[in-house]
Amino acid sequence: MKRRSMRRRVGVIMGGSSSELSAGHAVAEALSARGHEVVRVSLGESYGPDLASVVQKARIDVAFLALSGRLGEDGCVQGMLELLRIPYTGSSVLASALAMDKLKAKEMFRLHNVPTPPYYTVAVDADLSDLEGQHGSFGYPAIVKPRGEGSSQGVSRVTNLAELRAALEQAFEYDDIALVERFVTGVEINVAILDGQVLGSVEVATPKAMLEGPNAELVKVVLSPQRERGVQNLAERAARALGCTGAVRVDLLVTAGENEYVLEVNTLPALAPDGLLARAAAAKGYDFGALCEAVLDSAKLNQPARRKPPVDAIATAGFRQATAPVAMMKSVG
């Protein structure tokens, strides 16, 4: 377990659903109780263009991200914090964007030999007059997902052509590209990782709930120790394939046929006192406050500052470059 970090002025930036806001407030209370000066930046359901101004005025030393969905998880807020030179929790701009983009994440998984369910994509402007032929022998049931949304937004399970059409229309309300993924029968396992080390894994007892909301029941994994280690190793490989850092949750399916598939990687898992990360960390000796501080200690900037030439030198070089062709033309003339 890491030692207690020095006292800092921490901005807990939170937004999304009521449960996600509740988790953000829990983090703020835990860090405050451990002696940090905490500023709560609540963004509600949307992140306005004045966010950078709000964060600057808060004069924080570090940002603890308790966000979800577009703009929060996809690298946009992370990019803003890089420009403001404020260290933040979670993954880099690139890793956040890759993990949020289900298509690119799957492409990276395949590149790194990380098994993931078969899929194909459908664009919003595609000709769906022969959808049955396009779907072909892919089979049912299938899962339809927007390309760039969170775990449950716009996700549908379909069992026939009519449901597939309706699910695509629903997915297109969130994104211009939908993924149609083969349904894999198995047990859903969530693996919690912190700073590249597995904290633990739990089983989602009611996978259907993941399509309806964030309140799926979590129970202790019932796998042999050897297979659980294999699942956790696969989760680590998936996180590394995307370049994820800090606190990470990897969602996988484990089948009766001894196969495992990675569904997705969440770069900003909700940090609730009764959530997956807290349960897994408790088994490693962390209470909730210590876990929040460990996540805080992982905060960093992922784009290092580079030494740059003085502004007047850049301006002079640009002036010389711009005027050189003119001088050449005069000499030729």
What digits encode the pLDDT tens for the residues 25-81? 999 999 999 999 999 988 755 566 678 888 888 899 999 999 887 778 889 899 999
CB 140 within 8 A of CB 160: yes
Q: Among the listed ranges 41-45, 115-119, 224-228, which one has the minimum average pLDDT value?
A: 41-45
Lookup: tokens for 159: 């069992």
Please tell me whether 188 is known to bind a ligand. Answer: no
pLDDT given for residue 280 in this prediction: 85
Average confidence (pLDDT) over 240-245: 96
Distance of alpha carbon 116 from alpha carbon 128, whole angstroms? 26
Please tell me whether 233 is known to bind a ligand. Answer: no
Closest of 248, 264, 268, 237 to residue 81, by C-alpha: 268
Closest of 59, 120, 279 to residue 191, by C-alpha: 279
Please tell me whether 195 is known to bind a ligand. Answer: no
Domains of the chain as residue ranges with CATH: 9-89 (3.40.50.20), 118-182 (3.30.1490.20), 186-267 (3.30.470.20)
CB 157 within 8 A of CB 141: yes
pLDDT given for residue 307 in this prediction: 61
What digits encode the pLDDT tens for the residues 257-305? 889 999 999 999 988 888 888 888 888 889 999 999 999 999 999 887 6
Q: Are strands 260-266 and 197-204 parallel, antiparallel or unpaired?
A: unpaired
> pTM of whole model > 0.75?
yes
Average confidence (pLDDT) over 126-137: 91
Angle between helices 93-100 and 102-111 (to 10 degrees): 100
pLDDT given for residue 17 in this prediction: 61
